[in-house]
Amino acid sequence: MLYVVRHGRTESNASGLLLGRGDPHLDDLGVLQAQAVADAIGPVDRIVSSPLLRTRQTAAAFGSDIELDDRWIELDYGEFEGRPVADVPSGTWAAWRNDLDWAPPGGESHRQLGARVRKACDDLLDEAAIRDIVVLTHVSPVKAAMAWALGVGDEVAWRCFVETASVMTIGTGRGGPSLRGFNDTGHLDHLGGLGPAGR
């Protein structure tokens, strides 16, 4: 089984900021979320993580060796990094939604992100059929991995929401990947603090 997990909350997420390659640590709630998700999934055979601190801290809650893979890093927001989501003009959001090749100045497009995440997923597919693998990553790669599992285009990213410390479960078989669960957050119910958060 392949578990794709968004990292626990950071102060930037809680403040509604676009958080891409910035590298803040988990906030107090994020630390609790990391432990809750590790407890919910339980022991796994392999742990893969984005190299950013917030994902490594979430991965550490599993208590096993961590393998870093740059392909699972968050979308590069370029000049938009750290900007409040609410401050991005509506026209910019429209351009972003309507063109997979559009990217923030100095940043990365959804098509570019999707290509690297799909390759990372392909590399785990066969192993996930016989072993349990957890990937600690970010909101945009989670969405790209979902698109891979469903066999749909990366534009689906704009039609789904991914909570901090949520779990996506992907099974594998002769027919390829199959989505078993998405944005699962039941393990966080006792913590509170959920709701719309910045990337």
Examine residue 193 and state whether it is found in any structural domain, yes or no. no
- The answer to whether residues 191 and 36 touch, using CB atoms and an 8 Å cutoff, is yes
Contacts of 51 (CB under 8 A, 6+ apart): 68, 69, 70, 73
Examine residue 176 and state whether it is found in any structural domain, yes or no. yes
Reported as a single tens digit per residue, the pLDDT across 32-87 is 999 999 999 999 999 999 999 999 999 999 999 999 999 999 999 999 999 999 99
- The answer to whether residues 78 and 104 touch, using CB atoms and an 8 Å cutoff, is yes
Q: Is 138 a catalytic residue?
A: no
> Across-strand partners of 84?
17
Examine residue 55 and state whether it is found in any structural domain, yes or no. yes
Tell me the two tokens of residue 110.
Answer: 């959804």
Catalytic residue among 25, 67, 74, 138: 74
Reported as a single tens digit per residue, the pLDDT across 146-187 is 999 999 999 999 999 999 999 999 999 888 999 999 999 999
User: Nearest Cα to 128, choosing from 177, 168, 59?
Assistant: 177
CATH number at residue 78: 3.40.50.1240
Examine residue 199 and state whether it is found in any structural domain, yes or no. no
Q: Is 74 a catalytic residue?
A: yes
